[in-house]
Structure formats: C-alpha cells, structure tokens
Amino acid sequence: MNFLKITAFSLMLLALNSCKDQPKDSNSEQIETEVKQPFTVQFDADSAYRYVQEQVDFGPRVPGSSAHGKTARYLEQKLAQFCDTAFTQYGSMKGSKGQNVAINNIIGSFGPKKSKRILLCAHWDTRPMADQDATNPTTPADGANDGASGVGVLLELARQLQVQQPDAGVDIIFFDAEDMGDSKGEATTWCLGSQYWSKTPHKPNYVARFGILLDMVGAENATFAIEGNSWLFAQPYVNLVWQTANSLGHSKHFLYNQGGQLIDDHLYINKIRGIPTLDIIHYEPSGSGFGDFWHTHDDNMSGISKSTLKAVGETVFKVVMDL
Ligand code: AHN
Ligand code: ZN
C-alpha cells in the first residue's frame, strides 16, 4: 500500500509559479511527490512493562495521596522528555460525596500545530478502594491493569513517536480521577478528569479526527470486545482499529463481539467534545463484565502480560503512523 501525495510544499511552489512576473525556475515546475512507506511496527513490550511497574512502585495512585502526587511528577517528566510539548492541566471537580477533587490531567503533544490530529488517552489514577475484593474491600489495589497498563503502553508509544516523527499530530492525555465513581450513584461520579477536560480542553476549540482510550489493556489473554458507546459514536474508527489489530495477528485479543455499553472517559469526550472516541477495554461476558481482577487486590503486576501490552501497543502505533 503506497500512498502518493502532493506535499504542501509543492502546492506552494505551484501557487508561486502561477503568479505573474515570477522568475521562471525550471525546478519549481516539478511536482514533488512523497511516498509513504508501509510502516513496520516495533513496539518494545519490555519497556512498556517497565513503565507499568514504575507507576505501581509508587503505590496506589489514589487522588490526594502522596503516591498520586509523586506519580503526577513522574508522568509529567516522562512526557516532557518524549513529546514536543507537555504540561499538566489543573482543575477541580465535585466527587461523589460532594467533596472537592483536585484534577491533574497530564498532556503531551507531538506536532502541536498540525491540524490532522489523533487523541490517545488513559486514566492514571487508582480507585480509592478495591470494593470488589471479597476479603479486603476498603483499601486500594495496586491498579497495575486498571490505570497503569494503558499509561504504560502510551508512555512507550510516546518514546517511539519521538523517533518515528508521525505525519499526524498526536495528543496523549492521562486523565485523573476516573475511578472514584459510585457504582450505585450517578454516572457523572466517574471520569472526573475527562469531564473536566472535555468541558475545558487544554486548547480552546480543541479538535482531533478521532480518539482512542486504553483501559485495562494488560491482562494475560485479555479480550477486547466492541464497546457499545464506541460503536455508537466512533464506528468507522472501531473498524479501522480492529482491522489493524487483525492485520497484525492480534485477533485473539480484538474480538468482533458486542461488549457492554460503558461509562468511561471516552463517553464524555464523545458527548461533550464531540470527538469520536473509542475504548479498547478488557471485557468478559461473565461476572462484572471485566476480568476477575477488576477492583480486587488481584489487580497487581502478576496479572500483567507483556504479550498483551505488545498487541495493544503495536495496534495503536500502526494506526497512528498510517494516519
Ligand atoms: C463503570 O464501572 C461504571 N465503568 C467502568 C470504567 C472503569 C472503572 N474503568 C476502569 N475502572
Ligand atoms: Zn477501575
């Protein structure tokens, strides 16, 4: 698959050429073409795994905790190192009990001025309590999968994009306070950081062609079914991502099955910002709908598989590079 395209540069030359009284330069009459080579992905799963481990090593990243603060500085430093621009968006939201929750959305961009853009995101906070755990439901889990896995994949992707220089502009957003929701309460008690950003994006009138959210992308043999709100709001991009995954041999993870319709960060990006955004999220038809690890103390490093991180990382990497 070769994509021929006329570069903006050659269009500019043509425009200049058509002006009267312009000195003739035979070179400038040639139309420059740029051939986009098929992109061969090489995603380093060991590196992604290390980024997951480093987050977990800070302790549960519960909003307000010292581990949360230290992790925010770590993520800022990583994005500043890899991306063209990086900064933290500070905000405040009301939590499920009416409390103020400080928001740290951490954002890194490649090609910040480019108009063709893709948004990649994951939540970085840890749920304050592992409330699905049978024996200890009040303390937080490590959140290796729920939180750290998506961030780990995107950090490794950022490290690679610095070298690969994608054609498209890329914004990576690590959303805060996704997981403080009340399962018996309002939908809006979840996804506080993404609600804040969707109402107040880091750039006024921010747009991207589409967005990809990663949530719980590290379990052994993880299965990603097609999540309902992704299909509703971002169907063409679900097809693109699933086809890309399958072309790379990852069909055991990316299933063409219907998943649940979920409240997750992408919902607010779709509804409030109007950017079609899909969720690659671990789904199992039995039990909670997520894996057995979900919101239990089994969500630790022993459940993280390099091969799953690689399948997801390669897929997103290729989607970005082909854009
Ligand atoms: C609900 O359970 C309402 N949404 C799932 C979003 C989530 C929680 N992802 C990770 N933790
Ligand atoms: Zn969670």
Domain range summary for the chain, segments of one domain joined by +: 39-322
DSSP, collapsed to helix, strand or coil, labels residue 104 as strand
- Cα–Cα–Cα angle for 163, 166, 171, rounded to 5 degrees: 100
pLDDT digits (tens, 9 = 90+) for 179-238: 999 999 999 999 999 999 999 999 999 999 999 999 999 999 999 999 999 999 999 999
What are the angstrom distances between the C-alpha of 129 and each of 126, 137, 173, 293? 8, 6, 24, 13
CA of 296, nearest ligand number: 2
238: left (phi over 0), alpha (psi -120 to 50) or beta: alpha
Ligand 2: centre distance to CA 60 (Å): 12
Q: Which CATH class is domain 39-322?
A: alpha beta
- Cα–Cα–Cα angle for 115, 155, 212, rounded to 5 degrees: 50
Look at 4 and 250; give whichever has higher pLDDT.
250
CA-wise closest residue to 308 among 237, 205, 221, 229? 221
pLDDT bin (cut points 50, 70, 90) of residue 164 is very high
Ligand 1: centre distance to CA 210 (Å): 21
271: left (phi over 0), alpha (psi -120 to 50) or beta: alpha
Predicted confidence at residue 15, as pLDDT, reads: 39
CB 227 within 8 A of CB 255: no
Ligand 1 atom at minimal distance to the Cα of residue 146: 10
Ligand 1 atom at minimal distance to the Cα of residue 262: 4
**Pocket probe mutation, ligand 1, options 264, 267, 295, max atoms within 8 Å of Cβ:** 264
State which H helix or E strand residue 35 sits in.
strand 33-36
DSSP letter (8 states) at residue 145? I
- Cα–Cα–Cα angle for 102, 103, 108, rounded to 5 degrees: 150
pLDDT digits (tens, 9 = 90+) for 44-92: 999 999 999 999 999 999 999 999 999 999 999 999 999 999 999 999 9
**Residue 277 neighbours by CB distance under 10 Å:** 29
Arithmetic mean of pLDDT over the chain = 91
Atom 4 (ligand 1) nearest CA: 263
CA of 191, nearest ligand number: 1
pTM reported for the whole predicted model:
0.89
Report the alpha-carbon distance of residue 60 to residue 300 in Å, rounded: 10
CA of 295, nearest ligand number: 2
What six digits make up the tokens of 287?
């039990």
Predicted confidence at residue 31, as pLDDT, reads: 60
Please report, as a single letter, which amino acid is at residue 317: F
Report the alpha-carbon distance of residue 192 to residue 90 in Å, rounded: 12
% of the chain exceeding 70 in pLDDT: 89
Site residues for ligand 1, CB cut-off 6 Å: 146, 179, 181, 190, 215, 262-264
Place of tokens 């991306």: 83
What's the average model confidence in pLDDT over 131-146? Answer: 98
Predicted confidence at residue 30, as pLDDT, reads: 58
Look at 323 and 40; give whichever has higher pLDDT.
323
Q: Does the pLDDT value for residue 37 go beyond 50? A: yes
What are the angstrom distances between the C-alpha of 99 and each of 63, 94, 138? 12, 5, 19
Predicted confidence at residue 22, as pLDDT, reads: 44
Ligand 1: centre distance to CA 317 (Å): 25
Predicted confidence at residue 207, as pLDDT, reads: 98
Predicted confidence at residue 95, as pLDDT, reads: 96
Q: Does the pLDDT value for residue 12 go beyond 80? A: no
Atom 3 (ligand 1) nearest CA: 263
CA of 214, nearest ligand number: 1
Predicted confidence at residue 25, as pLDDT, reads: 47
- 8 alpha-carbon distance from chain centroid: 29
What six digits make up the tokens of 252?
């055991």
% of the chain exceeding 90 in pLDDT: 85
Predicted confidence at residue 21, as pLDDT, reads: 42
**Pocket probe mutation, ligand 1, options 190, 230, 266, max atoms within 8 Å of Cβ:** 190
Helix boundaries (H) for 248-305: 265-268
